[in-house]
Amino acid sequence: MSLRKYAFKMSSRALRKVALMGVSAVALSTLAVPAQAIPNFVLNGDFELVINGSGGMGEFDNLTYSTVVDWSSSGYNFIYAPGTADTTGGTGTFGNVKLWGPGTGSANGLTASSPTGGNYVAADGAFQVGAISQTINGLTAGQSYILSFYWAAAQQSGFNGATTEQWQVSLGPQTQTTAVLPNVNHGFTGWMHQTFTFTASTASEALSFLAIGTPAGVPPFALLDGVSLTAATPEPGSLTLMLAGLGLVGLGVLRSKGRARN
């Protein structure tokens, strides 16, 4: 083979590789779009939108104190602004409520906010227990969804004794629970990330969080933030984009082979 033909052959191979890389990059970017655009069906999952709240805020969905937008509450559940749970506390039906932390004399590591930052919910699991809930719309019956959230265990300041905390979580007729978390006297467990998989029965279903704690009279509080609900598998629109991306890859390969033969 002459040097000239060899150089031409090598340059043709290089061009085919560049073309394939370019098409693949376009396809990959197309495939990446659904991952970046997966919708969160939960509204105000970080509890940042609050009205009628002041200071450290307090018992929520009681118009006297605080209302968390898009959420309802039927129990002794509080909303705290960053850094206030163990300092200014929050006002409820039975007075001001604080948690044990550095600001109340316990070096337990209570953080100013959750891993997502900002406000978070604290729910008493042994006194006037009631769920925090929201109606989720736009679901597809039979579709699996991944629920994720951050949670921790704490204790109301001014009380003594070891406690346990957990969350009971429901989406429509399905219910799952976190592990029972033991918490030492005046303690804070640190934040943990939890995921559950639910299958939707209808287009609209109630999502609820119910705090369960022991013992009564030692106020065990379960903390919550960063709630999201996303489809576990691609929705039809996402599948269309994925197939389009794969089609681009195939088209690029066929065109490259055709040019090589010519």
Model confidence pLDDT, tens digit, residues 98-122? 999 999 999 999 999 999 999 999 9
Pull the structure tokens for residue 262: 């010519």
Between 89 and 17, residue with greater pLDDT:
89
Residues 6+ apart with CB under 8 A from 149: 45, 193, 194, 209, 224, 225, 226, 227, 228
User: Distance between terminal CA atoms of the chain?
Assistant: 19
For position 66, what pLDDT does the model report?
A: 93
Residues 6+ apart with CB under 8 A from 63: 52
For position 258, what pLDDT does the model report?
A: 54
- Is residue 156 within 8 Å of 99, Cβ to Cβ? yes
Each residue's pLDDT tens digit, 135-188: 999 999 999 999 999 999 999 999 999 999 999 999 999 999 999 999 999 999
Q: Read off the pLDDT band of 260 (50, 70, 90).
A: low
Task: Give the mean model confidence (pLDDT) for residues 52-63.
Answer: 84
User: Per the confidence metrics, is the pTM higher than 0.85?
Assistant: no
